[in-house]
Chains A and B, each alone.
Chain A
Amino acid sequence: MQQRIGVFVCHCGSNIAATVDVKKVVEMLALEPGVVHAEDYQYMCSEVGQAKIAEAIKEKQLTGVVVCSCSPRMHETTFRKCAERAGLNPYMVEIANIREQVSWIHKDMEEATQKAVILGRAAIAKVSLNTPLKAGESRVTKRALVIGGGIAGIQTALDIADAGYEVDIVEKTPSIGGRMSQLDKTFPTLDCSACILTPKMVEASANEKITLYTYSEVEKVSGFVGDFTVDIRKKARSVDMSKCTGCGVCQEKCPNKKAPSEFNRGLNTRSAIYTPFAQAIPNVPVIDREHCTKFLTGKCGVCSKVCQAGAIDYEQQDEIITEKYGAIVVATGFDIIKLDNYGEYAYDQSPDVITSLELERIMNAAGPTKGHLERMSDHKAPKNMVFIQCVGSRCSDGRGKSYCSKICCMYTAKHAMLIRDKYPDVNVTVFYIDVRTPGKNFDEFYRRAVEDYHVNYIKGQVGKVTPEADGSLTVHGVDLIDNKQIKMKADMVVLAAAIEPNPDIRKIATMLTASIDTNNFLTEAHAKLRPVESPTAGIFLSGVTQGPKDIPETVSQAGAAAVKAIGLLAKDKLLTNPCTAQADIMACNGCSTCANVCPYGAISYEDKEVRGPGIREVRRVAVVNSALCQGCGACTVACPSGAMDLQGFSNRQIIAEVDAICR
């Protein structure tokens, strides 16, 4: 077919035109072989701009379109749709990125213009070798998976279920509820966390569209958007969920109560058979086999004896459940960082140096101290409390996290206020770098702490916390406003430790092929415009897995993720990516090398009759299942004969780009 290529150069207002001589680019690219049309316009992505492209496609019977504009990640789809509407195959469009890669980073106009021309040439060279591609279709399994049963996961699941779709929650711990269930009160309203969370948990458990897999983990994920297949490992609970009545006798009678309580952050212990907390859902205990005497020594079996329902089952095995899903929402939440790098705060040396999350448990009526504020060392009530902010957050020296954990300022204000309210004789001092209170009623809340509750906020850092022989703590800090060294006595020190994504997220992200940033937060498809979607189609982000958030933000994002998932599940068919691999059976050796590197199992082998000049034989050749192929191209390089090629990014196309750039 004869090449008739149209080139459209966008000014992007002054974004491009200020640094790139757009007219010159048009002039130069018009000379390239195959180019029959070249023009520029203020905003190619605007309706008028798109109309220009459409018009040229029709009038000049263009066979290929090159748009020199912003990043293809921005408007490739826009221009492809535009081409399609004008009757050109959408895959006959290529973008030369002359904004992000040229105008925004170069100052010298001549240099920038020259580079824009070269990128344009590369795009022209590539588009000359483009072939019309047609997207295939794949089905959508109308079921969603939510990984993580905290408030984010619960909210997402409820919203999806509400829209009428089946949804499964996989929760690693024995109960849903997550981090929020550990909190005592919530800012800025100071309502009780359990009071608002428990109804949601119950609702999730009662909703017939929702299936809970607690004490379970995602083991394996295969497939792709609309058609994921997931293996869920339901860990052996050693308790038959169908029989257990949740009476709690077993926990009471369990002779081994030495296991540290995860729920209470290790501040106290629990029985070997346990539910994490009273309102746990499901209200079915789990035997912690690492601490259970029966499992450790073979002798005991008390729980089995006392269980009237006969629910105890020591023989229970892990179970693998395989289920298909159309969409997956990741809501794996967070934990606080380990404080190993912050020895100066004496967290490991003194039980009276605690984290904020531990304080939550201490303040909580169901916590290790039944809600009494007391030192963990001697169970005495403290007189002076010091809160240290930004422990591991906003860190520039590499010991902690570079980001702001976002919630600490507010919860510290909450803690300070609650303590001052309940124990007015306790002096509360907060060392802070900045107090950040952007949010509805947040600053008002903070000001109440300072103004109404007289919490002593000191702008400055704490250099060292020293446990003293008398059991007290000395806090060495600086006051940056008065510019002086401070040394003060404290009975308890509370560290606002940075939050970090749940450490399991790496494994999960790898399984999901979802990308992850350097801080282990999942990357969103677009920081601003697609904040709840992963770049991997069909994977959505809910809650802190995407970045630090407080509860209201988490809940609203959870809802947003649900809506995106629902939008996907509502479709009957999805168009698949046509940029898939294809094997040339004439050149294929049938050696299986390509199949070895295919992450999707998309390549199989068939005996096919091959005909060519002087050839007529049955050969073992590779066949690509284009519904499974995601177009990574690993196979194309594994194939020594070049039989495997990738549509849309073919060997010859890339070589044409290389040639054009090196010309």
Chain B
Amino acid sequence: MYKIAKENLSALFQKIAGDKELYLPVKNGGQTNYAAWDETVEVDIDTLKTVKSAKDAFFPQFETLYNVKREGKKLDLQQEALKDKDFVIFGMKACDIQGVKVLDNVFLSEPVDTYYAARRAHGIIVAMACHEPEESCFCKVFGLDAADPSAADVATWMVDGELYWKALTEKGEALTASVKDLLTDADEAKVEAEKAQIRAIVEKLPYSNLSLEGWGGDATDVKFKSPVWETLYKGCLACGTCTFVCPTCQCYDIKDYTTKDGIQRYRCWDSCMYSDFTLMAGGNNRTSQLQRYRQRFMHKLVYYPANNNGMYACVGCGRCVEKCPSSLNIVKVIKAFENEGGSKA
């Protein structure tokens, strides 16, 4: 284990950015989001949660898939270059990393999404423990340890103005080696204490004892037909805030943009909350907001687990809790069914 003083971090970032792209939480206009590092940005690793999750780094909100040129009747098609350079994403929390795992099951299952796969292959995740978990957090419910983000290439802890650094994988070791001269050796005692403290707070979080009983892959029938949905969705504005800040939402749209130079086929995030998500020429199979609202949560808590060995497509990051304009969120859904005890269905 190594450490580096907080005030030396910019040297660290500079070093990393020397030969790799570096993404990290940056404050812009009062909001903190992941963005590419350069000397001019205002790095903000103190804010617990970025507004958008880190999923952009692997599954960007917008990306070009390929370009088509038309000459007379002929078409010429050019696939967009895949990510071919390593990049570092610094500061991901345990929940966001779990979000990427959720996406992996989708994009890396056959047929593999090569755009995603390339980014995944070239991405080096430097995780950060959650120094001060907040009331909207409930990652513990999904078995995550905010104190010890172990699914990364490097794990870090910010303790008393020093960043503790621990490589977890080969990629992590390589990265560590490349910045080694900025790091100093450290013992784990302080980190252990920090972990204990974080875990103690997590225990006290209001949502930490949320129960997922009754959810999971087998619950389709019971949950789908439950009348509880009727009481939950009415405040929903059908905006896409929850889906766009969510680390696991992966619905996308594919569209064309025509310019004088040809047709650009791009993919962009879409939201199952939008009324035209499932609209097609002949009809729409989810015409009511109730159906759309239910779909989102059923997918996260039932359908996805059914297809992925019980893994939930929610990581308890709590962004929807904080950002929903109508204060609706997955916690309220889970609690509503908790109260129902699943019996009413």
* A interface residues, Cβ below 8 angstroms from B: 31, 33, 613-615, 659, 663
Q: Give chain A residues whose Cβ lies under 8 Å from the Cβ of B111.
A: none
Assess whether B283 is in contact with A613, with CB atoms less than 8 Å apart: yes
Assess whether A663 is in contact with B260, with CB atoms less than 8 Å apart: yes
15 inter-chain pairs at a CB distance below 8 angstroms, sorted by A residue, are A31-B72, A33-B70, A613-B279, A613-B280, A613-B282, A613-B283, A613-B284, A613-B287, A614-B283, A614-B284, A614-B287, A614-B288, A615-B287, A659-B258, A663-B260
B side interface size, CB within 8 A: 11
For the complex, give the distance between the alpha carbons of A613 and B284 in Å. 5
For the complex, give the distance between the alpha carbons of A613 and B279 in Å. 8
For the complex, give the distance between the alpha carbons of A33 and B258 in Å. 14
> Using a CB-CB cutoff of 8 Å, which residues 254-298 of chain B contact chain A?
258, 260, 279-280, 282-284, 287-288
Q: Give chain B residues whose Cβ lies under 8 Å from the Cβ of A31.
A: 72
For the complex, give the distance between the alpha carbons of A198 and B284 in Å. 78
Q: Give chain A residues whose Cβ lies under 8 Å from the Cβ of B260.
A: 663
What per-residue 1/0 map shows which CB atoms of B139-177 lie under 8 Å from chain A? 000000000000000000000000000000000000000
CB proximity of A483 to chain B, nearest CB, Å: 65
For the complex, give the distance between the alpha carbons of A663 and B287 in Å. 39
Q: Which residue of B lies closest to A612 (CB)?
A: B284
For the complex, give the distance between the alpha carbons of A234 and B283 in Å. 61
CB proximity of A397 to chain B, nearest CB, Å: 50
For the complex, give the distance between the alpha carbons of A663 and B261 in Å. 9
For the complex, give the distance between the alpha carbons of A172 and B281 in Å. 62
CB proximity of B277 to chain A, nearest CB, Å: 12
Q: Give chain B residues whose Cβ lies under 8 Å from the Cβ of A614.
A: 283-284, 287-288
CB proximity of A662 to chain B, nearest CB, Å: 8
CB proximity of A120 to chain B, nearest CB, Å: 16
What per-residue 1/0 map shows which CB atoms of B44-82 lie under 8 Å from chain A? 000000000000000000000000001010000000000
The 10 closest A-B CB pairs, nearest first, are A614-B287, A613-B284, A663-B260, A613-B283, A614-B284, A613-B279, A613-B287, A614-B288, A615-B287, A31-B72
For the complex, give the distance between the alpha carbons of A615 and B284 in Å. 10
CB proximity of B278 to chain A, nearest CB, Å: 9
Q: Which residue of B lies closest to A615 (CB)?
A: B287
CB proximity of B5 to chain A, nearest CB, Å: 54
CB proximity of B121 to chain A, nearest CB, Å: 39
CB proximity of A322 to chain B, nearest CB, Å: 49
For the complex, give the distance between the alpha carbons of A663 and B282 in Å. 34
Q: Give chain A residues whose Cβ lies under 8 Å from the Cβ of B72.
A: 31
For the complex, give the distance between the alpha carbons of A613 and B287 in Å. 7
Q: Give chain B residues whose Cβ lies under 8 Å from the Cβ of A659.
A: 258
Q: Which residue of B lies closest to A660 (CB)?
A: B260
CB proximity of B43 to chain A, nearest CB, Å: 40
CB proximity of A603 to chain B, nearest CB, Å: 27
Q: Which residue of B lies closest to A659 (CB)?
A: B258
Q: Which residue of A lies closest to B71 (CB)?
A: A31
For the complex, give the distance between the alpha carbons of A426 and B284 in Å. 97
Q: Give chain A residues whose Cβ lies under 8 Å from the Cβ of B70.
A: 33
CB proximity of A584 to chain B, nearest CB, Å: 15
CB proximity of B23 to chain A, nearest CB, Å: 35
Q: Give chain A residues whose Cβ lies under 8 Å from the Cβ of B282.
A: 613
Q: Give chain B residues whose Cβ lies under 8 Å from the Cβ of A615.
A: 287
CB proximity of A34 to chain B, nearest CB, Å: 12
> Using a CB-CB cutoff of 8 Å, which residues 112-144 of chain B contact chain A?
none
> Using a CB-CB cutoff of 8 Å, which residues 213-251 of chain B contact chain A?
none
